[in-house]
Chain A
């Protein structure tokens, strides 16, 4: 058996994936259900091997600003937290979006609002996809449905954030963070040398050595006319991302009469619900958005053609459903089934909701 095939929790897998990507630094503060990220990094001691910095900051606010500082010098830096901790990081995230810096942020969502519960939730969809912090910005938001995707999206998230110079977020839930599955880890990549960082990130504060003009990293611009130009530049980049980076998965959409739209681990539960429904003769398919921003609206519009209805299944009171309704222009009924506060729906419960929608 390949030595690189392992059984691990999603959170643990992120730690391995970060080291293997050649991540330069992780700055975090523990919170359930994602504390294993920091714990695993501390146990793996990458500072002894790749030289990656792992630091438990004094707070979430400190951690995100350490990421800001590292990113400003062109480093591949990341942080992770769960819902209440991610709220604390929003100021730093907005600043990084404004300063056009790459970074990776993992949110393993738990039930809210407030301190809420420690059980799985998807109630931070709005926060992740509609801004979260202040100002006109977007994060690239990736929603993993398996432990393997937790691994794969570390590299994807870093690559996209460096390509478009904006922070990327992995929006996971407690299920993906806590369950163990088979994973194949990528090979170890060396961390970039200082020269490589200078070449890849000519904007970074890497030391000018008298050879180039000063690089200034800031999100502050007091002249409105200049600030508008910066905003237009950001918006142009978001349009580029929308054009190039939409990702989704479809299962049995061709012959279906109905669609489930669900993201993350809930899409997996919907897959089982789809199997159960089809055994009863109800033809249902699934669209699983993988990028929540940019949202796969055109894919959903296309998949919905000729369908009788869509059931959005989410661990929230109805958040992604707004984007789904916009995608299909309300041409077909779009219903919602949500469980709140950390409760996970079972496949049979989802089938029951589908039947209710069909009979209404």
Chain B
């Protein structure tokens, strides 16, 4: 098993921390993992993306040309990464704020409205976990939920562990979008 994922969106959407929780969940599931951010002078409102690779074997390059799964959370990221989904791969995007839909017939496309689902939960900070729930649902590699919870515990500082049930709720909400 090897899955190469990029999550791309605006800074402040929780892209990097979603990648971190995904990577930690993979680690808890005994996988090799690499988390590679597009680090730079980034800030809220700018673009941010993170490549996450989960694999049974040693991972070679942290830098990739194409991905098994692209998760795009704004128009800029969608435009940039649509051509870079591997044929037969998965493209997931949040429909809120998207005015130009992707044109790919050789990949599975999952438009989700994670923004709306997050508002239903009532805590905008849970947005990235709603997206992650949807991602976990479509990912061919099935990450057991118990390891995702372990990943959450490892990723969040202890003072935020009271938020784990909210995050779990958001993940379930996201799964429901598929």
Contacts and interface: CB of A to CB of B under 8 A. Distances in A.
Interface of A: 1, 5, 7, 33, 118-119, 174-175, 178-182, 265, 268-273, 275, 344-349
Interface of B: 20, 23-24, 27-28, 30, 32-37, 39-41, 59-65, 154
**3 residue pairs, one from A and one from B, having the closest CB atoms:** A272-B61, A271-B60, A180-B35
Nearest to B51: A179
Contacts of B30: 1
A250 B103 CA distance: 42
Contacts of A268: 60-62
A7 B33 contact: yes
A347 B65 contact: yes
Nearest to A180: B35
B33 A181 contact: yes
Contacts, number: 70
B63 A346 contact: yes
A275 B60 contact: yes
B154 A7 contact: yes
Contact of B37 (A179, A181, A270): A179
Contact of A175 (B20, B23, B62): B62
Contact of B27 (A7, A178, A179, A348): A7
Given A7-B33, A181-B32, 16 more contacts: A7-B20, A7-B24, A33-B39, A118-B39, A174-B39, A178-B39, A179-B62, A180-B20, A180-B23, A181-B34, A181-B35, A269-B63, A272-B60, A346-B65, A347-B65, A348-B65
B37 A347 contact: no
A349 B64 CA distance: 10
A345 to B, nearest CB: 8
Most buried by A among B32, B40, B41: B40
B65 A179 contact: no
Contacts of A265: 62
5 contacts: A7-B23, A180-B36, A269-B60, A272-B60, A344-B63
A338 to B, nearest CB: 15
Contact of A182 (B32, B40, B60): B32
A1 B34 contact: no
A185 to B, nearest CB: 14
Nearest to B33: A182
Contacts of A345: 63
Most buried by A among B23, B40, B62, B65: B62
Contacts of B39: 33, 118-119, 174, 178
Most buried by B among A118, A174, A272: A272
B28 A180 contact: no
A180 B63 CA distance: 13
Contacts of B41: 118
Contact of B61 (A7, A33, A178, A347): A347
